[in-house]
Amino acid sequence: MTLQDRGTPDPIRVIVADDHAVFRRGLEMVLETEDDIDVIAEAGSGEEASALAVASEPDLVLMDVRMPGDGGIHATRVIKEALPDVKVLMLTISDDGEDLFESVKAGASGYLLKGISIEEVADAIRSVHSGQALISPLMATKLLSQFSAMARRDERREDVRSPRLTKREMEVLTLIARGMNNRDIARELFISENTVKNHVRNILEKLHLHSRMEAVVYAVREKLLEIT
């Protein structure tokens, strides 16, 4: 009996992109044991990952950062430009703060290090697919350091007042930063899911952001979210 026959949602269609074939195939074998995750393809380079994504339109790409050629960050940018709704979750050995920062700018919805367990990878895929943004505490600290470096570089620039968010938009932004999806936010604030979507759209437009992940970064920088 299939998932559809049981009335459950279709499995999450995933592409695994990593230049290490043994790791890639091992991860694929483990993820295939999950009923709600379907690995539809694997890629060994950034170019291959972006080409496969455009051709097959997966739900999510599990992307390494450092691969031959243009690498995972460039591939993420290509995928998000062609397919904005496709989620990209970075899974990498790179704990470089700049790699994290550039991944977020490229449109990644999460950044996790390869030290996590296979079970955590499956849960991360589900969370990102549902609309949450994921980042490990260690990498969040590095991201804050990256912002501090940016602030020092910009000290001589004219101070520009940040766009003002309404009280409700601030509430929504704070809940996004806590990892809630639109449905959870709607329940928390006793408003409709469509109203939440409108608030999210307004927040991104006012702050000149492109994704929920960037909104989380903004919330951390503005100390709306404490990283422990």
**Per-residue pLDDT at 159:** 45
Architecture of the 12-144 domain: 3-Layer(aba) Sandwich (3.40)
pTM: 0.65
Task: Give residue 38's pLDDT band: very low, low, confident or very high (50, 70, 90).
Answer: very high
**How many CA within 13 A on the CB side of residue 86?**
27
211 Cβ contact list (under 8 Å, min separation 6): 107, 109, 204
197-227 burial string, b = 16+ CB within 10 Å, else e?
A: eebbeebbeebeeebbbbbbbbbbbeebbee
Residue 97 contacts residue 69 (beta carbons within 8 Å): no
Which residues belong to CATH 1.10.10.10 in the chain?
A: 161-221
- CATH no., domain 161-221: 1.10.10.10
Lowest mean per-residue pLDDT among 49-53, 115-119, 199-203: 115-119
- Residue 94's contacts (CB-CB under 8 Å, 6 or more residues apart) are 65, 66
